[in-house]
Structure 1
Amino acid sequence: MTETEEAEKDPLFRSTRLRAARERQARREGPPSVARYLAQIGTLGWMIVVPALLALFLGRWIDRSLGTGIFWSAPLLMLGVGLGCWSGWRWMQKP
């Protein structure tokens, strides 16, 4: 294995290379517009809200079918919020 191939496997090397590429791209494109920031915030919000609402509706449907109060609604709502936050975090960390 060559030295370059070994360096490619090093996480610090890859992180540094990715950061340098992002910096070059930012210099070329300039700062993002306010509209782009607002679009990102809106997208992130929907990424959290949609799974939470779907899980809540599923929980309510199960609770009504089984007559269990909020036995399924509450945990599924928490699961939906957790899934939405996780997917939003993954989206924000995407290179």
Structure 2
Amino acid sequence: MPNLNSLKEKIERQASRMKKAERERPTLIGQTIYIGTLGLLLVIPVVGGAYLGNWLDSMMEGYSIRWTTSLILVGVIIGAVNVYYFIKD
């Protein structure tokens, strides 16, 4: 009889976990917001780096894209770190 009780408890726990998972299932709008947030966390530092680099390059004599390229790469790295920490939590 002890095995029968433990089996019954195990089945009840699994059933309650399944019901809880069904109730807390992410909705389409929730998933869309999550993906959109990830996109913004990646894109905003890249665009900011491009604008800042372009402004710094316009201050220099002649044609240069050195700052723009460098700050775009820095923006990609910062954006990737942002996404990593957002997903990690």
In the superposition, the TM-score normalised over structure 1's length comes to 0.67
- What is the match of residue 44 of structure 2? 50
Identical aligned residues as a percent:
26
- What is the match of residue 14 of structure 1? none
Cα distance in 2 for partners of 1:29, 1:72 equals 50
RMSD across aligned positions (CA): 2.1
- Tell me how many residue pairs correspond in the alignment: 71
Answer with 1 or 2: which has the greater Rg: 2
Following TM superposition, the consecutive aligned residue runs of length 4 or more in structure 1 with deviations greater than 4 angstroms are: none
- The equivalences for 1:46-85 within 5 A come to 46-67=40-61, 69-85=64-80
- The equivalences for 1:1-95 within 5 A come to 27=21, 29-67=23-61, 69-94=64-89
Unaligned runs of 5+ in 2: 1-16
Unaligned runs of 5+ in 1: 1-22
**CA shift for structure 1 position 30:** 2.1
In the superposition, the TM-score normalised over structure 2's length comes to 0.71
**CA shift for structure 1 position 28:** 7.8
